[in-house]
Amino acid sequence: MNTNKKIYIAGHRGMVGSAIWRTLSAKGYDNLIGRTSAELDLKNQQAVIDFLTTEKPEIIIDAAAKVGGILANNDFPYQFLMENMQIQNNLISSALNLGVEKFIFLGSSCIYPKLAPQPLKEEYLLTDALEPTNEWYAIAKISGVKTCEAIRKQFGKDYVSLMPTNLYGTHDNFDLTSSHVLPAMIRKFHEAKLNNNATVSLWGSGTPMREFLFVDDMAQAVMFALENRLPEHLYNVGTGEDLTIKNLAETIQKVIDHKGTIEWDSTKPDGTPRKLMDISKMHSLGWKHKVALEEGIRKTYKWFLENSESYKAIKL
């Protein structure tokens, strides 16, 4: 891959987009472009067309999305469905019409059915019902996957979808009303530690199994897809290892050195019982994660302590 190729990273200020930008820059890619949401509203079709027509990127990486946890998905179903479809449809259709040869679409493991066999294989897509607590976001992302597949099938372009497991890391969202489970736990344990090691109350039973991938490893997977023409349209990206939410909480509690107790609020939903990705396809091509969970949590907590703005929800 020519490192001078012009690459547009949508969502370059978010956790995933910024990690991709850092990773590509470190590899010598020096023709990266990005726009904040204030500079370019990706929900505005004409604005996206005008921007891409002017800038003429050769490659587009779509890391832009409206994201959030169970609470946010439950409270704002219309926005999670419509805004995500608007963002990706504007980018994908404009890319096709303007002759962009490579498009990397980033999704989520929530595209797979709630009760699909474990670990989750790419071919399980659309075989059963989704998890109700995040189906709106999932349906939007499924439509993006199928759109890229259709373009690949009909026009032969290198449009590929990468489905990461639960991501975390530096530049994460630590807002308690919209964040995902791992960063929310970091903030809760940190604040409880400052409050005389107060008791930490967490949602659910603690029994669901989850897999977590450090965001810099996800960025490496994107670079792998950038530098290789992957033979299929859809790939899972993860560690292939999971743990219970209870074990996750105890690991975070250890890293933060919180000495209080943990209470589990069983009146709150657990979500999907288990979500472990089958990542054999990416492994067979030569990509594998490098950062272990506790190491990644330590890196994330360090960044959290150094960045006061991380207490606010990040808008992509």
Please give the positions annotated as active site. Answer: 137
Q: Contact, 9 vs 33, CB < 8 A? A: yes
167 is annotated as contributing to ligand binding: yes
203 is annotated as contributing to ligand binding: yes
141 is annotated as contributing to ligand binding: yes
Phi then psi dihedrals of residue 225, to 5 deg: -70, -30
164 is annotated as contributing to ligand binding: yes
Task: Determine the Cα–Cα distance for residues 172 and 71; give it in Å rounded to an integer.
Answer: 17
- List strands edge to edge, sheet with 209-210: 243-244, 209-210, 274-275
14 is annotated as contributing to ligand binding: yes
165 is annotated as contributing to ligand binding: yes
270 is annotated as contributing to ligand binding: yes
Listed in sequence order, the DSSP H helices in the chain are: 15-26, 45-55, 70-75, 77-97, 135-155, 181-194, 215-227, 245-256, 280-285, 293-306
93 is annotated as contributing to ligand binding: no
16 is annotated as contributing to ligand binding: yes
Match 């939007």 to its residue by tokens: 140
Cα 299 to its chain centre, rounded Å, is 18
Q: How many helices (H) and strands (E) does the chain have?
A: 10, 13
3-state secondary structure of 33: strand
Task: Determine the Cα–Cα distance for residues 106 and 31; give it in Å rounded to an integer.
Answer: 21
3-state secondary structure of 142: helix
109 is annotated as contributing to ligand binding: yes
Strand partners, 130: none
210 is annotated as contributing to ligand binding: yes
**Token pair of 32 as six digits:** 């990266």
258 is annotated as contributing to ligand binding: no
171 is annotated as contributing to ligand binding: no
300 is annotated as contributing to ligand binding: no
Residues that constitute the known binding site for NADP(+): 11-17, 106-109, 141, 164-167, 180
Residues that constitute the known binding site: 11-17, 106-109, 141, 164-167, 180, 188, 203, 210, 270
Residues that constitute the known binding site for substrate: 188, 203, 210, 270
